[in-house]
Amino acid sequence: MTSFSYEREAIDYLAAVAKGFPQAKVYRGQGAANRFDVPGWNLPVLQRFQFGDLRLETPGETIIVETESAGGVTNLVKYWPFLASGAVEKRLILLHLFQVASEGDYIAHRRLWGYLVERMKEDLQTRCGVLYGQHWEAHLFTYRSLEELEAIQHLLQERLAGR
């Protein structure tokens, strides 16, 4: 029996949106080209963090799409020390998609995600001078089907168009 990946379906859909913007370089998967190390951590290549399920590099921004169908906050927290390191050369935009069957799905994970974004904002600004909105931002979306990815599609198109 073949398994179906809703996460992969969402990433394929959004990667297709990016194809209309030749200035964006598209990276996906777990290969070495889509991984990052936190400066000073000296992680072996296979232990480095994945940049997301989909990463789009434009001249002024790095746009990362993380998809979840099982909850969790690791895909947010891994960017905290990376942003704090000062190694981020362009504005980092994190788009985090949670697939849900109902509004209550993963509510604890989604609230924890929002709580962590607030802590990251405070810490990064106070300790490192890294400002939310100027140097980085994070957005959480929920969706049930590809049709519900319209909001993220529009945001992605605006970013890729440089707006």
Does some domain include residue 46? Answer: yes
- Say how many domains are in the chain: 1
- Mark 15-48 as b/e (b = at least 16 C-beta within 10 Å): bebbeebeebeebbeeeeebbbbbeeeeeeeeeb
Phi, psi values for residue 115, rounded to 5°: -60, -45
Domain extent for 47: 6-160
Give per-residue pLDDT as tens, 57-71.
Answer: 999 999 999 998 776
- At 105 the three-state DSSP class reads coil
Q: Please give the C-alpha separations between residue 117 and each of 79, 113, 114, 121, 122, in angstroms, as whole numbers.
A: 11, 6, 5, 6, 9
Does some domain include residue 1? Answer: no
Give per-residue pLDDT as tens, 96-117.
Answer: 998 887 777 888 889 999 999 9
Residues 6+ apart with CB under 8 A from 92: 61, 62, 64, 79, 83, 135, 136, 137
Does some domain include residue 22? Answer: yes
Does some domain include residue 140? Answer: yes
As a whole number of angstroms, the distance between CA 20 and CA 150 comes to: 16
CATH number at residue 77: 3.40.1350
pLDDT at 81: 97
Q: Please give the C-alpha separations between residue 79 and each of 63, 101, 131, 133, in angstroms, as whole numbers.
A: 12, 27, 14, 15
pTM: 0.90
